[in-house]
Amino acid sequence: MTQKKYVVGITDHMIGTPDLEAEVLGSDVEIDFFATTDETLFDADRLGRLDALLVWGARLTSRSISRLHRCRGVVRYGVGYEKIDLAALANAGIPFANNPDYGTEEVADHASAMILSLHRRLWEHDARARGYTSGWQVHSLKPLSRSNRATIGIIGVGRIGTAVVNRLKPFGFHILGYDPGQPPGHEKAVGYQRVDRLDDILAQSDIVTLHCPATAESRGMLDADGLARLKPGAILVNTARGELLGDLDALEAALRSGHLAAAAIDTLTQEPPGHHPLLSAWRDREDWLAGRLVITPHNAFYSDHAAVEMRTNAARTVKILLDEGRLRNRVTA
C-alpha cells in the first residue's frame, strides 16, 4: 500500500464523491471528504491534519480556519469567494486561491441566450400564444427592435464579459462596456465602446448584463435607485452575483411599472429563493409577468464538460501547491 504523503480535505460536493479529484491529486494524497456545507460540523481534529483544503459551497470562517494548523492553502472550486473569510486566512498565514479558468463559455452562452430571448420577446410570445383563440400573426408584441438598433451595456468586461461581447457582435448590437479594472485600449482589442461612468451605461443601454464580482462597491448597484437610472423599457440580465441587485421589492416595482421591460436572473441572494410577492407571481405564471421574468437555478456555469473542468482545475491547483509550493490563481484580502 502506498504511503500517503499529504492529506487534502474537501468540504462538500454537488457531484457525487471526489473520485476525479483523487485521480488528479495522485496516490500519495489522502482525501478527507467532509460531505457537508455546515461549517459547524467540521471536526477540529480532521481540520488539523489537512495539508490543503478544497471548498465548494461551505462557508469558511475563523471557526474552522483557526484549526487548520498545517494547511498550506485553501482553494475554492468556484470563482466567487464571498463565503470565505480572507482576512482570517491572511491572519493565519494561509494563502487562498479561487478557480477562474472554467465555465467561461457556459456562462457567456447562458447570458447570451437570455439576452437574445428577452430581446426577441420569445418567452412572452410563448406564454401569451397559448391563450390565443383567434388570429395568430396579428399578436406580434411591440415594441420589438432589430438587434442592430439596440444597445447592450456590459458591466464587467473580464473573461466572461469579453466572451459575451464576442458572441453578440455578429448580431449587430451596439455594445458598451463598463469596467474600471480594464486597462486603456482593452475596448479596442475586444471590440466594444468603453463607458467610464456607471450612470451613463445604465441610461444608454436597452439591455444591461452583469458580469462583475460582488464587492463593497458593487453590492446593491441595482437597488431601487440603480434600477430607476436604467433607460425606460430596459432589459436586465444577471448571471453574476445576486448581491448586485437590491431587494426584490425594487425589482418587482420596476417590472410592475414597466420601467423594466424584463429580467433574467441566474443568481439570487437567497438560494433556493424564499417567499416574496414577485416570486409568487413568477411561480404562479401571473399574467402581468408572463414571459418577463426568467429565473434559472444558479446553473449558468454548468455543462458536463465544465463540471469536469472545474473539479480538475481546482485539484490541479492543489497538486501544484503541494508539489511545487506555488499557489496559482491566488487571491488576497
Q: What is the pLDDT of residue 2?
A: 60
Q: 80-114, pLDDT tens digit by residue? A: 888 899 999 999 999 999 998 888 999 999 999 99
Domain boundaries, position 190: 104-295
Residues 117 and 12 in one domain: no
Residues 121 and 261 in one domain: yes
Residues 111 and 183 in one domain: yes
Q: 278-328, pLDDT tens digit by residue? A: 999 999 999 999 999 999 999 999 999 998 999 999 999 999 999 999 999
Quick check: is 259 catalytic? no
Task: Single out the catalytic residue among 23, 217, 271, 286.
Answer: 271
Q: 16-27, pLDDT tens digit by residue? A: 788 899 999 999
Specify if 265 maps to a domain.
yes
Specify if 1 maps to a domain.
no
Residues 109 and 236 in one domain: yes
Residues 167 and 261 in one domain: yes
Could you tell me the CA-to-CA distances from 265 to 28, 108, 270, 287, 298 in Å, in that order?
Answer: 43, 13, 12, 19, 8
Residues 206 and 278 in one domain: yes
CATH number of the domain enclosing 58: 3.40.50.720
Specify if 57 maps to a domain.
yes
Residues 182 and 251 in one domain: yes
Residues 117 and 40 in one domain: no
Q: What is the pLDDT of residue 216?
A: 84
Residues 212 and 322 in one domain: no
Helix ranges (DSSP H) in 59-129: 62-65, 86-92, 104-119, 122-129
Specify if 69 maps to a domain.
yes
Task: Single out the catalytic residue among 128, 298, 316, 330.
Answer: 298
As a whole number of angstroms, the distance between CA 333 and CA 326 comes to: 18
Q: Read out DSSP for 221-233?
A: TBSHHHHHTSPTT
Q: What is the pLDDT of residue 279?
A: 96
Quick check: is 69 catalytic? no
Residues 89 and 122 in one domain: no
As a whole number of angstroms, the distance between CA 262 and CA 288 comes to: 11
φ, ψ dihedrals at 200, nearest 5°? -70, -40
Quick check: is 241 catalytic? yes
Place of cell 492553502: 73
The structure's pTM equals 0.89
Number of separate domains in the chain: 2
Specify if 76 maps to a domain.
yes
Residues 83 and 113 in one domain: no
Q: 163-182, pLDDT tens digit by residue? A: 999 999 999 999 999 999 99
Task: Single out the catalytic residue among 110, 211, 241, 292.
Answer: 241
Residues 160 and 282 in one domain: yes
Q: How many CB atoms lie within 10 A of CB 35?
A: 12
